[in-house]
Structure 1
Amino acid sequence: MTWIAALPMYNITPALALEWRGWLSDVLHKVKPACRIVEPDEELHGFWRRPNLLISQTCGFPLMHGLHEQVQLIATPRFDAPGCDGAHYSSVLVTRANAEFDSLASCRGARAAYNQDDSNSGMNVFRHAVAPHSRAGMFFSAVLRTCSHLGSLQAVADNRADVAAIDCVTFAFVCDELPDLARQVRAIGVTAASPGLPLIASGSVPRATIEALRDALNETLTIRPERAKRLRLQGFSVLPLTDYERIGQLENEARAAGYTRLA
């Protein structure tokens, strides 16, 4: 079997994507499987379920909504980014730099943007943050799905939306790589924290290979420390799947408050 690998989650610019690809190549070189780095040519939910997937990165929300039955957790990155605490992360609540809003509570009746329905950082924790302020399941005047965190940031900057929740790691990379966009928005809060985006492998990957991958992840950070710094990688933690139950807890708390969807 020829294995495949891809890191699709934090490629916010082509230059950053090349850094991720180079780091992944070094990881695979240490493990030495027959593996190709690919660009997913299908919807990610299908890609993550490929039986020959050696390593990729997913969001915790789909992980806990069925994906965990078909994959293994390899490790969770620890990022050097505001809003991260070890292997846990939160989302930054942003509005336009010149907007009148100074807190999430002040955004009642405003327009929200979010990336995807199955995103923990862009939808689930956002819903959880809004839930205490909602009335009869409503809070915003309009909600826009943008398909990406960059799309949500651009929607806020372009005055097509007023507030969004952005994965704090993505936001840190935007500040690094796209400072002009970062200057067009400002933070007005943060969401609750949950475990970060895990690296996963197909359930068919041998246990010894999973262990070799874990060793290689940390070893490659010392090969080129300047690359690790640009990727904001501090190391990796091996979290049990039960830690990711926090994501479902946030979902359930919002639902218990009568706020089942962003609205």
Structure 2
Amino acid sequence: MIAALQMYDWPEVREATDRWWKAMADGLGVQVALARPAEFTDPWFRDDLLFAQTCGYPFTHALKGKVDYVGTPHYAADGCDGADYRSIVFAREGRPLEGFRGSVAAVNTPDSMSGMLALKLVFAPLAEQGRFFGRAVETGGHLASLAAVQAGRADVCAIDCVCVEMARRYRPSALEGLVEVARSPQVPGLPWITRAGDVGKIRMALRQVFADPALAEVRAALLLTGFSELPLSAYDAITEREAAMERAGGLRLL
């Protein structure tokens, strides 16, 4: 079996991530080390997936009906509200959103809720025939999007608020010279999923690691404060917002 937690697996918190997963694995009675494949999406599609965290957009699109939902973590981050989160839009200077017409947008990946769809939801109301930005560049990750805006290769980007909080705590240089210009609507956060695991047993192990006082420092390092077991229908907020945006004319990015 395979387990992977690469969505927020920054080098600064890798030790904490390993300790958190070790406690989870012990609770599940398995000896499965965390995998960190070069293509971080690969584990999501494996039949032997024990535990992983995915993005809400793949969860409601490419993975829909192919994985079992486990839960949605809560994070101590500005922009999070329980299991919900949002993206923060950054630029090098503050201006009304209309002032970014014709500019360059940085997008982490085409299937990202926080870096792609969130950006569309913010700027689509200003689009004309699906156009607003002059062009978009794909960066491969949130930190790379921030760097692109800092360096002037792009003018605006949308960043997952948990990543923003991690940058403030562990890598403040990633935000230097950038200002917040908007926030996206809230949607359910990045879900934990399984294919080969027992959802009930995994949830029991999660309750144990969140209740264990010996893991308080680990949870704090990872910004974790708890988790929710949401109904699957909660994630309809993502597809419904996307559909409403497209009906209104949409916004082309990549």
Q: Which residue does 1:28 correspond to in 2?
A: 25
Given that 1:74 and 1:213 are in contact with CA atoms closer than 8 Å, whether structure 2 keeps it comes out as no
Separation in structure 2 between the aligned mates of residue 207 and residue 236 of structure 1, nearest angstrom = 14
Q: Is 2:61 aligned against 1:69? A: no
Structure 2 length as normaliser, TM-score? 0.94
- The 5-angstrom pairing of residues 228-239 of structure 1 reads 228-239=219-230
1:217–1:236 contact (8 Å) kept in structure 2? no
Superposed CA RMSD in Å reads 1.6
State the partner residue of 1:165: 158
Question: Aligned letter for 1:235?
Answer: G
* Equivalent in the alignment of 2:210: 218
1:126·1:165 contact (CA, 8 Å) conserved in 2?
yes
Aligned pairs, how many? Answer: 254
Deviations 1:34-80 (A, max 9, x none): 42321125451x32021221111000101111313121111111111
Whether 1:107 aligns to 2:105 is no
CA gap 1:43/1:76 in 2 versus in 1, 3 angstroms: closer
Secondary structure, counterpart of 1:55 in structure 2: strand
Deviations 1:82-125 (A, max 9, x none): 110110000001011xx3x4232321121110101100000011
1:1-20 equivalence runs, <5 A: 3-12=1-10, 14-20=11-17
Query: Is 1:201 equivalent to 2:190 in the alignment?
Result: no
1:13-162 pair list within 5 angstroms: 14-42=11-39, 44=41, 46-96=42-92, 99=93, 101-162=94-155
CA separation in 2, counterparts of 1:81 and 1:25?
A: 24
Structure 2 vs 1, CA of residues 63 and 258 (structure 1 numbering), >3 Å: closer, same or farther?
same
Q: 1:116/1:42 Cα in 2 relative to 1: closer, same or farther (>3 Å)?
A: closer
SS in 1 for 2:110: coil
| Equivalent position amino acid for 1:214 in 2 | L
Partner amino acid, structure 1, of 2:211: E
Cα displacement (A) at 1:132: 0.4
Match of 2:252 in 1: 261
Name the aligned partner's letter for residue 231 of structure 1: L
Length-normalised TM-score, structure 1: 0.91
Structure 2: distance between partners of 1:184 and 1:17:
27
| 1:204-239 alpha-carbon deviations (Å, 9 max, x no partner) | 32344234333234234x323222222111101111
Q: Is 1:75–1:214's contact at 8 Å kept on the other side of the alignment?
A: no
Query: What is the rounded CA distance, in whole Å, between the counterparts of 1:174 and 1:219 in structure 2?
Result: 27
The alpha-carbon deviation at position 136 of structure 1 amounts to: 1.2
Identity rate of aligned residues, in percent?
35
Q: Provide the C-alpha distance between the structure 1 equivalents of 2:163 and 2:74, rounded to a whole number of angstroms.
A: 13
Alignment partner of 2:178 out of 165, 180, 185: 185
Q: Judge conservation of contact 1:218–1:235 (CA < 8 Å) in 2.
A: yes
Select which of 216, 221, 227 maps to 2:218: 227
User: Gapped runs of 5+ residues in structure 2?
Assistant: none
Q: 4+ runs of 1 displaced by more than 3 Å? A: none
Pick closer, same or farther for the CA change 1:28–1:219 going to 2, 3 Å: farther
The CA deviation string for residues 133-190 of structure 1, in whole angstroms up to 9 with x for no partner, is 0011111112111010011000001111110000000011011111122122111110
- How far residue 244 of structure 1 moved from its aligned partner, in angstroms, is 0.4
Q: 1:53 to 1:217 in 2, by over 3 A?
A: farther
